[in-house]
Amino acid sequence: MSTKATNILVPVISVILGLIVGAIIMLVSGYNPVDGYLALWNGIFGDLYTVGETLRQITPYLLAGLAVAFAFRSGLFNIGVEGQLIVGWFAAAYVGVAVELPKIIHLPLALLAAAVAGALWGFVPGLLKAKFHVHEVIVTIMMNYIALHVTNALIKTVSGGGDRTESIFASASLRSEFFENLTEFSRLHYGIILALVMVGVMWFILEKTTLGFELKAVGFNHNASQYAGMNVNKNIVLAMVISGAFAGLGGAMEALGTFEYVSSKAGFTGIGFDGIAVALLGMNTPLGVIFGATLFGSLKYGALNMPNAAGIPLEIVEIVIAVIIFFVASGYVIRLFLLRAAKKKEAK
């Protein structure tokens, strides 16, 4: 079998296998898989509203995926995207509430605040890794908790004892009347454009700049990079800062687009953790992240319609969605299987 055919077959087979196993789970639990998948399909592409909402759901996944992928390319496992996203969310909402400025200044300022907050949250583990060789996984996990509870405390202070901030001024909002009218009042906002631009920015940094070349070199082998005269420590810190900035922007999408406020959270949003899967599904490339985020966002959002239209409990739905993603992620196994099959054929 040619490589080209394998490349096309692998994702197709993995999605189909995921759908079949998901169908079996629904059948065994006593629900109609046809109704279920139909509801899923309609939940994603049913009408303009759902398409708008699906795109809205994809937006933060794009940025979270970029954040994880960027760190991965530099050999760093940034589990702290969740925390960086939460501080970015807070920073953007805070700037959105605290001052009222002309839109042309206010919106970029809020976005910048989110990026800086996220970058700062990435800087700490980056610095600790570079200076003291503290493993970034441990630090970033702990930074997630710090982010969650610090922002909760700040929200309480800012809102005067409440559990959420006021809604941001319109001048800081990413909401778009144009998109709203186009998609029957979905919460689709301009953030999707920004997220796609950021995909381009990541590609540009990695592929077209010296910095990107160095980051990738450090990712491949930091000893060799050092020997070649690169400043490994500086690159580690930079990679975490840029990764954190992407994550912070992901938080800004929620703060300035989806919610227009920030409320205290009892637990993590999950977007940052899903970002790990998004990045890995996309092989840590910018284009791949678009694919991963689209798959994740569509399934996550479409799944909401399964209890609504097909009466399947949310718990079963989440298992089915997880199974589909599981099979897509295990595409490598299917590839191996196909290769073996091809080899055996040759041997005969």
Partner 1 sequence: MTKRKFGLGLSMMLAAGTMLAACGSEEGTSTGDSGSGEEKSDFSVAMVTDVGGVDDKSFNQSAWEGLQAFGEENGLKKGDGGIDYLQSASDADYNTNLNNLIRRDFNVVFGIGFLMEGAVKEIAEQQPKAQIGIIDAVVDAPNVASVLFKEQEGAYLAGVAAALMSETKKIGFVGGMEIPVIERFEAGFLEGVKAADPSVVVDVQYTGAFDKAELGKTTANRMYSAGADIVFHAAGGTGNGVFTEAKERKEANPDENVWVIGVDADQYDEGQVGDTNVTLTSVLKGVDKAVIDISNKAKEGNFPGGETITYGLAEDGVGLADSRGAIPEDVMAKIDEYKEKIASGEITVPETVK
Residue type, 95: V
Q: Which stretch binds partner 1 (CB under 8 A): 30-38, 67-75, 83-91, 275-283?
A: 30-38
Nearest approach, Cβ of residue 328 and partner 1 (Å): 14
SS3 283: coil
- When binding is defined by CB under 8 A, the residue of 100, 178, 197, 270 that contacts partner 1 is 270
Q: Which stretch binds partner 1 (CB under 8 A): 106-114, 189-197, 279-287, 298-306?
A: 298-306
Rounded Cα–Cα distance for residues 161 and 154 (Å):
10
The DSSP letter of residue 148 is H
- Residue matched to tokens 């920073």: 91
Q: How many CB atoms lie within 10 A of CB 58?
A: 25
Q: What are the structure tokens assigned to 154, written together?
A: 């700040």
- Residue 33 or 80 with smaller CB distance to partner 1: 33
- Residue 129 or 187 with smaller CB distance to partner 1: 187
Q: How many CB atoms lie within 10 A of CB 118?
A: 36
Q: How many CB atoms lie within 10 A of CB 263?
A: 15
Nearest approach, Cβ of residue 13 and partner 1 (Å): 7
Under the binding rule (CB under 8 A), the answer on residue 179 touching partner 1 is: no
Q: Which of residues 49-108 bind partner 1 (CB under 8 A)?
A: 49, 53, 57
- For residue 244, list its beta bridge partners: none
Nearest to 331 by CA among 272, 294, 280, 275: 280
Note whether 91 and 114 are within 8 A (CB). Answer: yes
Under the binding rule (CB under 8 A), the answer on residue 187 touching partner 1 is: yes
Q: Which stretch binds partner 1 (CB under 8 A): 163-171, 236-244, 277-285, 286-294?
A: 163-171
Nearest approach, Cβ of residue 135 and partner 1 (Å): 26
- Residue matched to tokens 């409990």: 313
In sequence order, the 6+-apart residues with CB closer than 8 A to the CB of 10 are 331, 334, 335, 338
Q: Which stretch binds partner 1 (CB under 8 A): 76-84, 201-209, 221-229, 255-263?
A: 255-263
Under the binding rule (CB under 8 A), the answer on residue 308 touching partner 1 is: yes
Q: Which stretch binds partner 1 (CB under 8 A): 85-93, 96-104, 193-201, 303-311?
A: 303-311
Q: Which of residues 312-331 bind partner 1 (CB under 8 A)?
A: 314, 318
Under the binding rule (CB under 8 A), the answer on residue 133 touching partner 1 is: no
Rounded Cα–Cα distance for residues 10 and 12 (Å):
5
**DSSP string for residues in 158-194:** HTTS-SBPPPPPGGG--B-HHHHHHTTS---BTHHHH
Under the binding rule (CB under 8 A), the answer on residue 258 touching partner 1 is: yes
Estimate the crossing angle of helix 210-220 against helix 48-73, to 10 degrees.
Answer: 70
Under the binding rule (CB under 8 A), the answer on residue 178 touching partner 1 is: no
- Residue 23 or 232 with smaller CB distance to partner 1: 23
Q: Which residues here bind partner 1, judged by CB under 8 A?
A: 13, 16-17, 19-20, 23, 33-35, 37-38, 41, 49, 53, 57, 149, 152, 156, 161-164, 167, 185, 187, 254, 258-261, 263-267, 269-270, 301, 304-305, 307-309, 311, 314, 318, 341, 344-345, 348
